[in-house]
Chain A
Amino acid sequence: MSDPKIEGFELKPGFSGMAKDTASDQTMFKGVHWGKAMMWIFLLSDTFIFSCFLISYMKGRGSTLIDWPNASEVFGLHVFGVNVPLLLIAIMTFVLITSSGTMALAVKYGYEKNKKMCGWLILATAIGGLIFVGMQAFEWSKLIHEGVRPWENPFGAPQFGSFFFMITGFHGTHVSIGVIFLFIYAYKTFAGHYDEGKRGWFTTMKGDYVEVEILGLYWHFVDLVWVFIFAFFYLW
């Protein structure tokens, strides 16, 4: 926001601007759509949920006396006669980052009112998310076949299974919900709902490309959580 004024309110940069915005006796987040502010606050609460999962994982892994399974081997794949460590997880990471990039570009083209580019990029993001969920389903079924359960597994500490299914399952649920909404928003973009200002189903809010940015925030958050899961669960 480089706008110097919003509805006659003079915007100042930095912390003095923050004090002025907060004390303005008006809306606090100047120039921020209410939907965007609410999405941010939802994401903040979601951050706490995922933090609790990851912290309980830390506590469980730190307090067990049995050796933790070696993630590098457990999640390795046997391709072309060679064992490649963490291969599937690496591909999943790259797919998710790719979809995050296409989403960022979709938001940019949305603000430029470039309907076609925006729609295609949202669709590309949705397909990336779908591939990610597919690979996660493959990973789950592979581990279940190898005998990993929430209460036991053949590799080491029994807590491993419960943390794995809980954390990746919750993340996968987020991705799946995101994919559903990405497909809906791709349709809405192509149908021109954001150009015409057409209303959504449960809202009196008129359609606007800011909705693409709000969805983008959610999708980037899903990628953000994966960055932490990748680091703590798969690499640590």
Chain B
Amino acid sequence: MDKTKKQEQASTHKIGIYLWIWGLLFVLSFFSYMVDWYQFQGMLRWSLILFFMFLKAGLIMAFFMHLFWERYALVNVLLWPMTAIACFIFLMVAEFEYTVFTRLFYFVTGGV
């Protein structure tokens, strides 16, 4: 039992790191709730929401999901496909802007 424990020790991390991340996640969630509580509007609201969101997601993935300690072969296989999502978002932004334009054009002006 003791022998296996010693061997496994390499793959476990100190409890402090988990408690820190846990606490940080609570604080960041509280901040993002405060964004709504104080009714920030416009660019300030959106940038704060995105900032807290990416920070929380990064902390969960890096430490709770252990990606920070994984080898690059795994990390890169997992993270690079995400760029496809970014491309898709850009495509769909162009798409909804065009939809709004056609709706305004045909509903409001009657397509003249």
Contact = CB atoms under 8 A, between A and B. Distances in A.
Interface of A: 1-3, 11, 13-15, 17-18, 21-22, 28-32, 37, 40, 44, 47-48, 51-52, 55-56, 58-60, 62-63, 65, 72, 85-86, 90, 93-94, 97, 100-101, 103-105, 108, 111-113, 213, 216-217, 220-221, 223-224, 227-228, 230-231, 234-236
Interface of B: 1, 4-5, 8-13, 15, 18-19, 21-22, 25-26, 29, 32-33, 35-37, 39, 45-46, 49-50, 52-53, 56-57, 60-61, 63-66, 69-74, 76-78, 81-82, 84-85, 88-89, 92-93, 95-97, 99-100, 103-104, 107
A227 B64 contact: no
Given A100-B64, A112-B12, A17 B71 contact: yes
A68 to B, nearest CB: 13
B57 A224 contact: yes
A230 B60 CA distance: 15
Contact of A14 (B5, B72, B99, B100): B72
B100 A18 contact: no
A108 B13 contact: yes
Given A72-B36, A113-B8, A235-B45, 9 more contacts: A48-B85, A55-B85, A62-B93, A62-B96, A86-B33, A220-B65, A227-B56, A227-B60, A230-B32
Contact of A55 (B11, B46, B88): B88
A63 B60 contact: no
13 contacts: A1-B11, A2-B10, A29-B74, A55-B89, A63-B96, A65-B103, A72-B39, A90-B29, A105-B15, A108-B18, A230-B53, A235-B45, A236-B46
A48 B83 CA distance: 11
A97 B26 contact: yes
Contact of B15 (A14, A108, A234): A108
B73 A100 contact: no
Nearest to A71: B36
Nearest to B5: A113
Contact of B70 (A1, A15, A59, A223): A1
A17 B65 CA distance: 21
8 nearest interchain CB pairs? A62-B96, A18-B72, A63-B99, A101-B22, A231-B53, A21-B73, A63-B96, A111-B12
